[in-house]
Amino acid sequence: MITHGHSDHARGGSKHYYSTPATADIMRYRIDQDLDISEYGYADGFEKNGVLFEFFSAGHVLGSAQVRVSYGGESWINTGDYKVENDGVSGDFTPTTCDHFITECTFGLPIFRWKPQAEVFSEINAWWAANAAVGELSIIYSYSLGKAQRVLHGLDTSIGPIYAHYTVEQINAIYKRHGAKLPQTESLTDLTAKTADPTGIIVAPPGLQDGRLVKALKVKHDAMASGWMAIRGIRRRRSYDKGFVLSDHADWPGLIQAIAGSGASSIYPVHGYTEIYTRFLQDQGYNAKDFHLELERTT
Amino acid sequence: MKRFAQLYKEVDSTTRVLPKVKALVDYFREAPDSEAIWVIALFTHRRPKRLISTIYLREWAIEISGLPTWLFEDSYHICGDLAETISLVLPPPTKYVSHPLSYYFQQMVNLRGEDTEVIRAWILDTWDSLPHQERFLFCKFITGGFRVGVSDKLLVRALGQAHHIEESDMAYKLMGDWTPRDTQLQDLLADDQSANIARPYPFYLAYALEKDADDLGDPSEWSAEYKWDGIRSQFIKRAGEWFLWSRGEDLINGSFPEFSGLLDLPDGTVIDGELIAHDPLHADPIPHPGEFNALQKRLGRKKPGKKTLDDNPVTIIAYDLLEWDGVDLREQAFAQRRELLKALVNNQDNSLLRLSPIINFNDWNEVRELREGARKHGAEGLMIKRYDSPYRVGRKKGDWWKYKVDPYTIDAVMTYAQSGHGRRSNLFTDFTFGLWENGELITFAKAYSGLTDVQFREVSKYVRANTLEKYGPVRKVKAELVMELAFEGVHLSSRHKSGVAVRFPRIKRWRKDKTAAEADQLSTLKTLIER
């Protein structure tokens, strides 16, 4: 049962999968074209041995879902990753009730509070426009599934051309197939320092930082779009010129809002600052338990 | 404040020097003098004293954010910066009222000593009036510490460019005991250099000699002195008053009142030298500095009592003369300045001032031998200076070189580990080390630096898997990892269980090739004590 297509949540090796249609497409592209997947849309419940399974939109990336499992009058939700703000390409977060709520808490600290997306994008576009005005190429690093499409959706195409890395373009195609509106991008593959339009911006995954390609293109301005950029120390440590605070995970108020909306009597935080967040919920009178999942933290 | 926030944003959003200088120059050209003076003060460590203890600030931030105390503290530990934590956890402001930068500092001065309630009202109202970035800066002002990647040097350069004043001249103008409250920018930048009799010269700093001494060429062009391990200082006597400056541009008259004993020196005298703990047991010609610890004791006391003064005597070992008879000598050759200095020091009979002896040598081999023997004289190596060199400004290569003895090293076993702060809160970065004595590991040093990030991660993994006991953030670990520690000196200490204390310990390398049993004995360390 797959919540969304990021590689720490969707792995190969299973005989059979259940997911939303968009997640199924992403898995087929990223893992194996021949995966055996049963696809169900949001709110298309299906039963297995008398147990009801339902997907509800999670707003994290295209196709992301919270999974609700109900049996004998008791229901559980596993949120997977989620955010409560609609980013324009990943769908709404659908608040859904249950008895037991397993929630991510990647940014489960009160120092994480996101600004409305529109404000962040006006910062990003202003930065890009300033670089373009002096004829210097920009690059913005963002994960190729989800963040990149969100960034593309928010870029002001009147500033200059957008160059997208190959892995980003592949995911773009899946997004477009599922109805997302993304701007025209040009391929980065054969771009050189000479042919690149200096008013342009490159959208590429963070793995390319310090890569040969970027050096060859003589990019002067680099930026990272991530929730971690909210902390000055982290931003400086990763030595990006610019860090834009843009996350596909819920911030502190978002997490609390989701828990209240679930109406659940028991909360199980996973991924992230679970120890701290669990203790906070207990302080607030919730029946909360730290699951201690030995999973790597995602960004 | 808004314009300053923009400057901060520009400076903070780049790691390169040129854009930073450009942002500062733009700022200084645009900002009114009354604002600029505070920015200069801020970046040269001259801001007003802290208005109120951070304990209150935390308390108020906790109260307003409605967070439990432990959650605030955990967040602070992970964020690593108090001002940033406070500005992030506070609810969004309900209004926007931005004053000039000078207002906030003036208020900090005016409200000092007022009732806590009055201060509280002002701070809470300000928190509620500023958007995040400006609120963060305000918190930085009131919590103390403002390190944002703008060094004194960078500021001097930018201010010089903005006002068309040469860099070294600018550095000179900014030195001294001025405060932004009662200084006008135009007075600070004015040509009249005699306006401030306390004003020191910028120190000339040497680089370490990395290459072979032979490469310096003809040995007869160079002088050698011991490199003393004290506080680099400038002693000034002008217009009947004396001033003692440390290299950090701190006026340290208060901590060292005995130097009023040098008031007999003629007016218009500026001496560059090393302030050292004076060991009366060792006679001239080679002065022998006492323990650095004694000096630390003195430096920590703003108004030392008689006993402190008597127990920890100090002296200045003079090695250069920057001003004589009111004339700036810095453009003259070192040899000439040195002759004048020699005459000056020899002419007075006062244990507060001694001459740093020039050591004769004929070739570079001899210099290398002198360096190896430097520790016997309580020095940490040699200073090699070109006889015809002027006294330059700041750290410059070419004429003056530090020629330090290699540090001592010893192989020690890690016994305890503690997690780091801020960006390193998920790693163990602070380690305690022990040496063997009668089959037991005796703690003798703590070290924080020296490993790469990858190694820190590897060690952290080891710590997590091999924890024997937890004491809060400290963990006792299985004594298996051996690290080679480097340090600058070792002396007897009654405060340490091992009976010795090492100076400036740091990790030189991880000895993966050694088992704990092969680490050094405590007795080996004790043989290094030189008395």
Residues of A at the B interface, defined by Cβ within 8 angstroms: 109-113, 230-234, 236-237, 239, 241-242, 273, 276, 279-280, 283
- pLDDT the model gives residue B29: 94
- pLDDT the model gives residue B343: 94
| pLDDT (mean) for B49-54 | 89
Position B373 pLDDT exceeds 80: yes
Least confident piece of the model among A91-95, A282-286, B182-186, B317-321: B182-186
Position B404 pLDDT exceeds 90: no
pLDDT in tens, B479-500: 999 999 999 888 887 777 888 8
Sign of the Cα torsion B102, B103, B108, B111 reads positive
- pLDDT the model gives residue B241: 87
Q: Read off the pLDDT band of B281 (50, 70, 90).
A: low
Is B150 touching A (CB cutoff 8 A)? no
- pLDDT the model gives residue A293: 56
Q: Which of B14, B89, B149 lies closest to A110 in CB terms?
A: B89
Position B52 pLDDT exceeds 80: yes
Position B288 pLDDT exceeds 60: no
Residue of A nearest to B83 (CA): A232
Please judge whether B71 and A276 are an interchain contact, meaning their C-beta atoms are less than 8 angstroms apart. Answer: yes
* 3-state secondary structure at position B7: helix
pLDDT > 90: percent of chain B: 50
**A102 φ, ψ (degrees, to nearest 5):** -95, 110
Question: Contacts for B189-192 with beta carbons within 8 Å, 24 or more apart?
Answer: B189/B163, B189/B165
- pLDDT the model gives residue B28: 95
- pLDDT the model gives residue B192: 59
- pLDDT the model gives residue A295: 47
* Cβ contacts of B423 on chain A, cutoff 8 Å: 231, 233-234, 237
By residue count, chain A amounts to 299
Stretches in chain A below the pLDDT threshold 70: 209-211, 239, 292-299
Q: At what angle do helices B17-30 and B33-43 cross, to 10 degrees?
A: 150
Using CA atoms, how far apart are residues A250 and A252, in angstroms rounded to an integer? Answer: 7
Q: What is the ipTM of this complex?
A: 0.89
Least confident piece of the model among A103-107, A150-154, B40-44, B133-137: B40-44
Both tokens of A253, joined, read 């108020």
**B65, HSE (Cβ side, Cα atoms, 13 Å):** 27
Average pLDDT, chain B: 87
Question: For residue A212, what are the CA distances in angstroms to A155, A192, A215, A220, B453?
Answer: 25, 12, 5, 14, 23
Please judge whether B75 and A109 are an interchain contact, meaning their C-beta atoms are less than 8 angstroms apart. Answer: yes
**B446, HSE (Cβ side, Cα atoms, 13 Å):** 10
* Cβ contacts of A236 on chain B, cutoff 8 Å: 15, 149
Q: Read off the pLDDT band of B251 (50, 70, 90).
A: confident
Question: For residue B63, what are the CA distances in angstroms to A113, B55, B144?
Answer: 18, 12, 21
Both tokens of B67, joined, read 């967070």
- pLDDT the model gives residue B284: 52
* Nearest chain A Cα distance for residue B16, angstroms: 9
- pLDDT the model gives residue B248: 67
Identify which has the larger pLDDT, B240 or A239: B240
Position B431 pLDDT exceeds 70: yes
Both tokens of B110, joined, read 């005016």
Residue of B nearest to A224 (CA): B13
- CB count within 10 Å of CB A90 equals 27
* Cβ contacts of A231 on chain B, cutoff 8 Å: 79-80, 84, 423
* 3-state secondary structure at position B434: strand
Please judge whether A233 and B81 are an interchain contact, meaning their C-beta atoms are less than 8 angstroms apart. Answer: yes
Position B285 pLDDT exceeds 80: no
- pLDDT the model gives residue B424: 61
Contact B468, B476 (CB under 8 A): yes
* Nearest chain B Cα distance for residue A74, angstroms: 32
Sign of the Cα torsion B172, B176, B179, B184 reads negative
Strands B327-328 and B314-324: antiparallel
Which of B67, B76, B79 has the highest number of chain A CBs within 10 A, making it the mutation to test binding with A? Answer: B79
**Where do runs of H (alpha helix) occur along A19-71?**
21-30
Both tokens of B443, joined, read 């703690």
- pLDDT the model gives residue A297: 42
Contacts of B417 (CB under 8 A, 6+ apart): B428, B430, B431, B432, B459, B460, B463, B474, B475, B477
| pLDDT (mean) for B177-190 | 84
Q: Read off the pLDDT band of B86 (50, 70, 90).
A: very high
Q: Domains of chain B, with CATH numbers?
A: 2-143 (1.10.3260.10), 204-404 (3.30.470.30), 408-526 (2.40.50.140)
Q: Domains of chain A, with CATH numbers?
A: 17-112+249-288 (3.60.15.10), 117-244 (3.40.50.10890)
* Cβ contacts of A109 on chain B, cutoff 8 Å: 74-75, 78
Q: Read off the pLDDT band of B531 (50, 70, 90).
A: very low
